[in-house]
Amino acid sequence: MLKTTTAFLIFAFKLLLMTTAYSQDLSFSKQLFDTYDTYRESALTHRRFKQIDILPLIDQLKTDSRFEVTTVGESVEKRPIQMIKVGSGPRKVLLWSQMHGDEPSATMAIFDIFNLLRTDGPFEDFKKQLLAETTLYFVPMLNPDGAERYQRRNALDIDLNRDALRLQSPESRILKGLQQSLKPDFGFNLHDQSTRYSAGPTPKQATISFLATAYDQARNINPVRERSMQLIVGMNRVLQQYIPGGVGRFSDEFEPRAFGDNIQKWGTTLILIESGGYPNDPEKQFIRKLNYVAILSGLQAIATDAYKTESRSEYNTIPENERYLFDVLIRNAQIMRGGKPITVDLGINRYEVNVGHAATFGYRSVIDDFGDLSTFFGIEEIDATGLTLAPGKIHPQSLRSLADLKKYKLDSLVQLGVTTFRLATPSRATTHLSPIHLLQPTTTAVRPVQTGRIPTFVLRRGNQLRYVFVNGFWYDVSTGDNKLATGVVE
């Protein structure tokens, strides 16, 4: 009896501990979420910032005695790679972002976190505890040469995340050197993933995905990896408040050449965070905020050991990342083939194309699939039941240059089904800002709509125009809903 009572008391105490951790988590993260705008770094407003944009922000930290800024090496093109240390606690945490130059969402969140740490306000108790219990090492931009070009790879055209063994890039040697010399207990490996991953076989985008990276082919779970799972369980619970059903689990297939896998193997508890897509957030500013909330909640769980009460089995309930999404899915369109109508769905994806020095971008959209796509979803969906797909009109006048477009009222033309202009002289541009499809002088004008082609066409009901598509963006003639964006040169 006594034994049973004691067992019950221990159970009740554990339960109490868990519920306390649980409620603390959510009220703390809610406070982070609600006060975010106070700490948001206003110098960063879009994804294509360069190292030159963050250097002054790092310089500011040098004037604050709590922060220690060191240059830990330089990139292939001699850009300094900097690390910011803050805190003096026994639990060491290394956080690195933008190993891939075109994956900057978490980089922005790191500067928001610095602002929280150096601004007086309602988080004093949290900060005191965090900086006493942990030592944080941030490398906000590991691949500045890639960021300069807004590309994944570094200036040697090497993917740093496949260079953990061969170490041919200075940036890879820096990261391995930091892991080996600091021997951090925890590592945050911060990336962006495709905006077209869904959380499970659903229409929900995986806005954030986590991975407790595997350290061997068999995907075994040792205490190092178990801690990753426990931390992720807590961060997932936090994020479900803001993106219910929008958290995914990245594939844990072992990649022997990747850093996450090796760092987990080298004994640092590794948490991969991937920023995906969120509706109407092309610059990922809401996703940046979610990174801020998730990372700080994770750090709090490390500082307080709260993650130890989490059950690792809950990790497996997070749905896996799946490929069920197109940017636009057109369902049940009729299309003429050999004089007969057939019914097809069209899966359209919009691909970003860097413009100039990668400071801005356009889109080139592609029909990536065609046929029965009833098992897929669209981030935007068009029901084309009863509608026939046909080519848009080509304007009778040719353009001498792109600048000639200024002479036309493009919106009114598009609303009449004019989708295309022909250029009289060749242009070197591949995208442009106006919502119109341009054909180079030698490009064939009318070709069948099929996979690999740029989605420019109209959808009609009989003779009545219903939708106009230009480069994968669309205008709804009956409602006036205008989603037209940038054009393309083909």
Interface residues with Zn ion (CB under 5 A) are 100, 103, 191
Nearer to Zn ion, 272 or 438 (CB): 272
- Residue closer to Zn ion by CB (options 146, 455) is 146
How do strand 457-461 and strand 388-390 relate by DSSP bridges? antiparallel
DSSP 154: -
Distances (CA, A) of 49 to 43, 168, 286, 288: 10, 26, 17, 14
The DSSP result for 193-259, as a single string, is --TT-EESSSSSB-SEEEE---SSTT----HHHHHHHHHHHHHHHHHHTTSTT-EEE------TTSH
Nearer to Zn ion, 193 or 456 (CB): 193
Q: CB of residue 103 vs Zn ion: minimum separation in angstroms?
A: 5
Q: How far is the CB of 345 from Zn ion (least distance, A)?
A: 31
421: β partners: 438
Which residue lies nearer to Zn ion by CB, 103 or 145?
103
Which of 96, 474 has the CB closer to Zn ion? 96
Could you tell me whether strands 393-394 and 418-422 are parallel, antiparallel, or unpaired per DSSP bridges?
A: parallel
d(Cα 270, Cα 278) in Å, to the nearest integer?
Answer: 25
Task: Tell me the DSSP string of 434-454.
Answer: SS-EEE-TTS-S-----TTS-
CB of 105 to Zn ion, least distance (A): 11
Instruction: Provide the β-strand partners of residue 205.
Output: 198
Judged by beta carbon, residue 100 or residue 350, the one nearer Zn ion is 100
Nearer to Zn ion, 211 or 458 (CB): 211
Long-range contacts from 124-127, C-beta under 8 angstroms, 24+ separation: 126/28, 126/300
Report, in Å, the least distance between residue 194 CB and Zn ion: 10
Distance CA 291, CA 299 (A): 12
Least distance from Zn ion to the Cβ atom of residue 172, Å = 14
| Closest distance to Zn ion from the beta carbon of 154 (Å) | 12
How many other C-beta atoms lie within 10 A of the C-beta of residue 85? 17
Residue nearest to Zn ion (CB): 191
Q: How far is the CB of 101 from Zn ion (least distance, A)?
A: 9
User: Do 399 and 436 contact (CB within 8 A), yes or no?
Assistant: no
Q: Name which of 153 and 191 has its Cβ closer to Zn ion.
A: 191
What is the Cα–Cα distance from 72 to 70, expressed in whole angstroms? 6
Q: What is the CB-side half-sphere exposure of residue 92 using CA atoms within 13 A?
A: 13
Q: Report the nearest approach of Zn ion to the CB of residue 193 (Å).
A: 7
